[in-house]
Amino acid sequence: MAGNEPVQKLSQNYVEVGEGGGSSHTVDESEETSRSTTSPRLLPPAALATASQSGSIEELARTVSGPDKAALIRDVSTSFDSLFTWDYEKGRREQLNHLYEKAKVSQWNAETDIDWSISGQIDSARDPDNPLNQLGSSQEGPFASLTPAERATIGHAGMAWTLSQFMHGEQGALLCTAKIVDSVPWIDAKYYAATQVMDEARHVEVYAKYLRDKLEWEFPVNVHLRDLLDTVLSDPRWDFTYLGMQIMVEGLALAAFGFQYQFSPDPLLKQITRYVMADEARHVAFGVISLKEAYRDLSAAEVRERQEFCYEAAIRMRDRFLQQEVWETLGMPVKECCEVLLHNPLQLEFRRLLFSKIVPNLKKLGLLDAGDGWLRQRFGELGVLEFEAWEDTGAEYERMQLEAPL
């Protein structure tokens, strides 16, 4: 392809706040480092032949190991070519240049533009009537015998877990976009990617502050999210970094942010989410615009490899983010809780809606129907093809900017 050749129950990593107030658990300040041993495949080949869950319940219920929880640094080995370009003609790729100019005037300050005086976040998270506390009234399995106080703690923990994964994912995007600056061959793409590095740093900052100062509870990275980020970051091909992060991970996040913005009763979280969504829409558009050009000359084998990667990433994201660390931390049976979440009707619909940004963007890239329509068939089995007619993010991102009402 032209241009693509270079192409115990409480973790020490968070602070728990329960009925009786807060008790801090300090991180071990050792120099321990965890190391990624990720495979280039997200799932075993047999999983590609079925739209059922992406692994056994034992695999889905897996959590981060004790040593990985204690380690402050994770080492992901990667090898890719850093590309200089001597073609400095700005605007050769007009749509990327437009994104770059939009990003210049769309920067915001997480310290001064957010109203951190708004309080009540823990009470809001513990409220059983909070729409985001979807398991607050569940009577299934291990949830049937819970007291109101225990349900409130699950709401608090669930919110902290979700935002912790957003934070970890944003750091993954920070690293991936820095890699794109290095490895993409076009100056307009390097210019825009450099602005996204700043965006992602700000997102990590704002979620870390909210978790630390407002929810007072932080969770370690979910093992399945970590494995996905490792895979995306370690692949040496720049277009796979684009595809995995800009299209798949950021596309799913954009849909999740929309859900959170619509239903959160916390005005502070709404404000943060609105700012983040404006940035994320540009990021996903960056992936759509860039890859549309890069994928024009792919061979059939290269197309299939990318289709399989998208499907593997999709089913992993669909059924592996089951708040495993919440159940482990609270001393609840992890496998049983994961089973409830896998089959809970509200959770099923929520996970289906997460594809509302991914499917139209993959269609825009030509990956949905390329070859023999392999990816269309697989997404049909997932029941998400209704989203193919939705507007792709490359076309809609202008309406998601801060100056435009949602």
Tens digits of residue pLDDT in 136-194: 678 889 999 999 999 999 999 999 999 999 999 999 999 999 999 999 999 999 999 99
| CATH topology assigned to domain 16-400 | Ribonucleotide Reductase, subunit A (1.10.620)
User: Model pTM?
Assistant: 0.86
Question: Which pLDDT score, from 0 to 100, does residue 36 have?
Answer: 62
* The dihedral formed by the CA atoms of 349, 350, 354 and 355, expressed in degrees to the nearest 10: 0
333-337's contacts with Cβ under 8 Å and 24+ in sequence apart are: 333/142, 334/61, 334/63, 335/57, 335/58, 335/61, 336/141, 336/142, 337/141, 337/142, 337/143
pLDDT exceeds cutoff 50 at 4: no
Q: What pLDDT, on the 0 to 100 scale, is given for residue 53? A: 65
35: left (phi over 0), alpha (psi -120 to 50) or beta: beta
> In this predicted model, what pLDDT tens digit does every residue of 8-37 receive, in sequence order?
222 333 233 333 333 333 334 344 566 665
**Span 274-303, mean pLDDT?**
94
> Taking residues 248-255, what's their average pLDDT?
92
pLDDT reported for residue 32: 57
Query: In 3D, which of 314, 262, 217 has the Cα closest to residue 21?
Result: 217
Q: Tell me the CA end-to-end span of the chain in Å, nearest whole number.
A: 39
Banded model confidence at residue 349, pLDDT cuts 50, 70, 90: confident
Average pLDDT of every residue of the chain: 86
pLDDT at position 406 is 57
Would you place residue 317 in the very low, low, confident or very high pLDDT band (cuts 50, 70, 90)?
confident
Where is pLDDT greater, at 6 or 297?
297
Q: Name the residue ranges covered by the structural domains of the chain.
A: 16-400
362 pLDDT higher than 50: yes
CA distance 131 to 3: 47
Contact residues for 94 (Cβ-Cβ < 8 A; gap 6+) = none
For a pLDDT cut of 90, what percent of the chain falls above it?
70
Which residues contact residue 293 at a Cβ distance below 8 angstroms, ignoring those fewer than 6 apart?
Answer: 93
Which residues, listed in sequence order, are joined to residue 75 by a DSSP beta bridge? 35
In sign, the C-alpha dihedral spanning 28, 171, 60, 15 is positive
pLDDT of residue 289 exceeding 70, the answer is yes
* CA angle, residues 367, 226, 397, in degrees to nearest 5: 45
71-124 tens-digit pLDDT: 999 999 999 999 999 999 999 999 999 999 999 999 999 999 999 999 999 999
- Average pLDDT in the 286-306 region? 94
What would the pLDDT profile of 390-402 be if each residue is shown by its tens digit? 888 766 667 767 7
Task: Please indicate whether residue 1 or residue 106 has the higher confidence score (pLDDT).
Answer: 106
pLDDT of residue 6: 31
Q: Which residues make beta-bridge pairs with 18?
A: 21
Task: Show the beta-strand stretches assigned E in 135-292.
Answer: none
DSSP assigned state of 248: I
Pairing of strands 21-23, 16-18: antiparallel
Would you call 344 helix, strand, or coil by DSSP?
coil
Q: What is the pLDDT of residue 14?
A: 28
Q: Of how many residues is the chain composed?
A: 406
β-partners of residue 317 are none
Give the best-scoring range by mean pLDDT among 59-68, 199-208, 394-403: 199-208
**Calpha distance 294→287 (Å, rounded):** 10
Structure confidence at residue 405 (pLDDT): 60
Amino acid, res. 311: Y
Mean pLDDT of 344-349: 83
The answer to whether 238 touches 6, Cβ cutoff 8 Å, is yes
What average pLDDT does this structure show over 127-132?
A: 91
Residue 302: predicted pLDDT = 95
pLDDT tens string 258-267: 999 999 999 9
What is the secondary structure of 159-181 as a DSSP string? HHHHHHHHHHHHHHHHHHHHHHH
Q: Which residues of 326-353 are buried (b: 16+ CB within 10 A; e: fewer)?
A: bbbbbebebbebbbbbbebeebeeebee
How, if at all, do strands 73-75 and 33-35 pair?
parallel
**145 contacts: CB under 8 Å, gap ≥ 6:** none
Predicted confidence (pLDDT) per residue in 204-219, tens digit? 999 999 999 999 999 9
